[in-house]
């Protein structure tokens, strides 16, 4: 007969040491490789991403140019690696401010309720009434191309998801006894919100941020493709795809290679996001 394990301590310890989810491992590996390559860009590329060699344009893959050259003789491998640098860093920055703003607004709305809640959540409704890309493209178009416009546009559009997630958590948390205990100790509203509620509800927002980055990368690449994103000659995957398109029939690799890079990066981030959600037990 099998021994029955003791319920309390042993079970809890097992619970805490659950194995690392496989998708977390896979996602971490994929994204880790891409991030390492982006960081080590000068070490693993032989040419600058904007260095032109007009005597050697549209070359196929060779020992000198692993992935060939584009229409200005720039090394595709270099542009790809430096493009990862641009796109990833813009995406990571772009996810931060909607995360912070959405979390604060959502927590405030959920905690205070009433008129303020109604105002914030109706504003959120207005934003989601527009399709994501329509609003982002419109805003970047109005603000003028560039990283700053991307940050602003993404913030305006995606704070909504964070606000909704955090508001839900706050509605539950605000009636927890530890929040009541903080209130009866005479603490002020902002203090209770920041110290007692936000740290307890922010986990879900963090998990969502991981999948939101994927969306942001796609948005950045899309904007680059439309010529509204990172401005040339700075390397950007979207801009690479757009430029390569004119040679699609003869040099298909120019558009396809950055496309594959986007897919792999998105996949890595998605796996990572799922893995983190699994690890934190939300989602």
Partner 1 sequence: MPPSPRPPLLEVDNLSIAVTLPGARRVTAVEDVSFSVDAGEAVGLVGESGSGKSLTLRAILGILPPGASVSAGRVRFEGKDLLAGNEAELRNVRGRGITMIFQEPMTALNPVVRVGEQIVDAARGKRGWSRKVARAEALRLARHMGIPDAEACLSLYPHELSGGLRQRVMIAAALACQPRLLLCDEPTTALDVTIQAEIVALLASLRAELGMSLLYVTHNLALLAQLCRRVEVMYAGRIVERGLIADTFAAPSHPYTRGLVRATPDVDSVVDTLVGIPGSAPPLGARPTGCSFHPRCETATNACRTGDFPLRPLGNGRASACLYAERIGGLAGAGT
- Contact set with partner 1 (CB under 8 A): 175-178, 180-188, 191, 195-196, 199-200
- CA dist 233 and 130 (Å) reads 32
Task: Measure CA of the first residue to CA of the last residue in the chain; give whole Å.
Answer: 37
**84 or 173: CB nearest partner 1:** 173
- CA dist 170 and 113 (Å) reads 10
Shortest distance in whole angstroms from residue 181 CB to partner 1: 5
**33 or 176: CB nearest partner 1:** 176
**42 or 199: CB nearest partner 1:** 199
What are the structure tokens assigned to 88, written together? 């990833």
Of 200, 191, 128, the residue nearest 171 (C-alpha): 200
**202 or 214: CB nearest partner 1:** 202
Write the DSSP assignment of 155-188 as a string of letters: HHHHHHHHHHHHHHHHHHHTTSHHHHHHHHTT--
Shortest distance in whole angstroms from residue 188 CB to partner 1: 7
Shortest distance in whole angstroms from residue 195 CB to partner 1: 7
- CA dist 168 and 172 (Å) reads 7
**183 or 253: CB nearest partner 1:** 183
Shortest distance in whole angstroms from residue 76 CB to partner 1: 47
Shortest distance in whole angstroms from residue 116 CB to partner 1: 14
Q: Work out whether the CA dihedral 175, 177, 178, 182 comes out positive or negative.
A: positive
């Amino acid at each position: 007969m099998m021994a029955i394990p003791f319920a309390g301590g042993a079970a809890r310890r097992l619970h805490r040491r659950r194995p690392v989810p496989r998708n977390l491992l896979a996602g971490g590996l994929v994204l880790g490789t891409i991030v390492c390559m982006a960081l080590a860009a000068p070490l693993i590329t032989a040419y600058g991403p904007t260095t032109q060699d007009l005597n050697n344009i549209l070359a196929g893959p060779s020992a000198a140019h692993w992935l060939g050259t584009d229409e200005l003789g720039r090394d595709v491998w270099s542009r790809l690696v430096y493009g990862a640098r641009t796109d990833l860093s813009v995406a990571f920055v772009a996810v931060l401010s909607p995360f912070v703003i959405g979390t604060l607004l959502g927590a405030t709305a959920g905690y205070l309720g009433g008129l303020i809640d109604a105002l914030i959540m109706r504003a959120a409704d207005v934003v989601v009434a527009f399709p994501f890309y329509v609003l982002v493209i419109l805003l970047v178009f109005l603000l003028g191309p560039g990283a700053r416009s991307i940050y602003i546009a993404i913030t305006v559009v995606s704070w909504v998801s964070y606000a909704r997630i955090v508001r839900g958590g706050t509605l539950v948390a605000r009636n927890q006894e530890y929040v009541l205990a903080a209130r009866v100790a005479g603490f002020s509203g902002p203090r209770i919100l920041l110290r007692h509620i936000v740290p307890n509800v922010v986990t879900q927002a963090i998990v969502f941020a991981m999948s939101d980055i994927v969306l942001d990368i796609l948005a950045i690449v899309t904007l680059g493709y439309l010529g509204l994103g990172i401005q040339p000659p700075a390397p950007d995957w979207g801009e690479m795809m757009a430029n390569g398109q004119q040679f699609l029939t003869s040099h298909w690799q120019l558009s396809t290679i950055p496309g594959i890079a986007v897919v792999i990066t998105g996949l890595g981030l998605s796996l990572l996001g799922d893995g983190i959600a699994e690890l934190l037990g939300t989602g």
